[in-house]
């Protein structure tokens, strides 16, 4: 159950709106960093919004919320993007900053970042 003595990360973070807000803030940091411009080039607004929604769905589902992730696996969806270690580090910093902005507690912040970390080897291709 989502309530009781062991509430899910989803509940402890504050539910869907908070998770969606964290992801939007996180993606906003990406978009305003020129180092990440190559990832937004040539993509329609709809494609960008679709990817945003899939990330929200994925994090909502993995945090124990009532969402379904219907996207591709992380290796398939990032293969060929040549994502580097440095880009990964910036990605983690942006995620941490977004979580801080929403006042997410230390335990929840760590659990959220740990979900991201588990995908690192599927996402990063270059040293």
Residues that bind ligand HEM (CB under 6 A): 39, 47, 51, 54-55, 58, 71-72, 77-78, 81, 83, 87-88, 91, 116, 119, 123
Give the tokens for residue 91. 């990605």
Q: What is d(CA 69, CA 47) in angstroms, rounded to the nearest whole number?
A: 16
Q: What is the DSSP letter of 69?
A: -
End-to-end CA distance of the chain: 41
Q: Name which of 5 and 46 has its Cβ closer to ligand HEM.
A: 46
Q: Name which of 3 and 76 has its Cβ closer to ligand HEM.
A: 76
Q: Where are the beta strands (DSSP E) in 1-127?
A: none
Shortest gap between Cβ of 112 and ligand HEM (angstroms)?
A: 10
Q: Name which of 58 and 98 has its Cβ closer to ligand HEM.
A: 58
Q: Which residue is nearest to ligand HEM (CB)?
A: 71
Cβ density class 48-61: b for 16+ within 10 Å, e for less: eeeeeeebbbbbbe
Q: Name which of 12 and 87 has its Cβ closer to ligand HEM.
A: 87
């Amino acid at each position: 159950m989502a309530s009781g003595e062991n509430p899910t990360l989803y509940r402890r973070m504050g539910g869907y709106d908070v998770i969606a807000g964290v992801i939007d803030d996180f993606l906003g940091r990406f978009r305003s960093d020129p180092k990440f411009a190559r990832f937004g080039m040539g993509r329609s607004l709809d494609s960008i919004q679709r990817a945003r929604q899939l990330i929200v769905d994925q994090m909502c589902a993995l945090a124990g919320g009532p969402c379904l992730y219907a996207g591709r696996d992380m290796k398939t969806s990032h293969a060929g993007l040549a994502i580097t270690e440095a880009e990964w580090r910036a990605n983690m910093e942006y995620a941490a900053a977004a979580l801080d902005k929403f006042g997410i507690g230390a335990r929840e912040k760590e659990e959220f970042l740990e979900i991201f970390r588990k995908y690192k080897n599927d996402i990063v291709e270059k040293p």
